[in-house]
Amino acid sequence: MTDDQRHASFRPDVLTFKTDILDEDLTLSGEILAKLDVILKGINDADFIVKLIDVYPTNMENGEHTPDHISLAGYQQLVRAETFRGRFRNNFAQPEVFKEGQEEEVNFPLQDILHTFKKGHRVMIQIHSTWFPYIDRNPQKYVENIFEAKQEDFTTGTIIIKGSSTVEIGENDGIEQKLPQTKM
């Protein structure tokens, strides 16, 4: 899971947002909160995966301790990630189906962070709805116990992540940290 995330960047079902190349080091610390405004079409359940990634420069050279099978040029280092089952967006004790075509908020925390993105790197956020085989597949049709889903329960649909969605990253000494201007 902590390996290079470039494979996900090329998937058509993964939203990828990245900053311009950083002009100086950027240290982020504190809590991370994903605040997604979503609309589901053709499905009534979904998972949401949000990843914070450190993108290395495309001209980065391998160091003496870098394994031979890894190239650091353009490497996408997973810094933080979280998977959230949308059915628990309002209450962990009472799962809820999504209403077809209705905008809903899906807010959830990621693990806290203390990471410095070096000058020349980029900050990337990826959002997707499956991380199989690391996380079991959600059939996207509400079933009480996902682990009991039958093949016929699995369906396809559309998940819209609205532009009003944000990923907020902590506060440091009362000053909110802001990424270079990047919209989702």
Summarize pLDDT for 150-183 with one digit per residue, the tens: 999 999 999 999 999 999 988 654 444 444 444 3
How long, in residues, is the chain?
Answer: 184
Distance (Å, rounded) from C-alpha 131 to C-alpha 135?
A: 5
Tokens of 75: 């490497």
Asked if omega into 133 is within 30° of 0 (cis), the reply is: yes
Q: What is the CATH number of domain 6-176?
A: 2.60.120.260
Residue 8, H or E segment: helix 6-9
- Please tell me the pTM assigned to this model: 0.87
Q: Give residue limits of the domains in the chain.
A: 6-176
CA angle (120, 122, 123) in 5-degree steps = 145
Q: pLDDT band for position 69 (50/70/90)?
A: confident
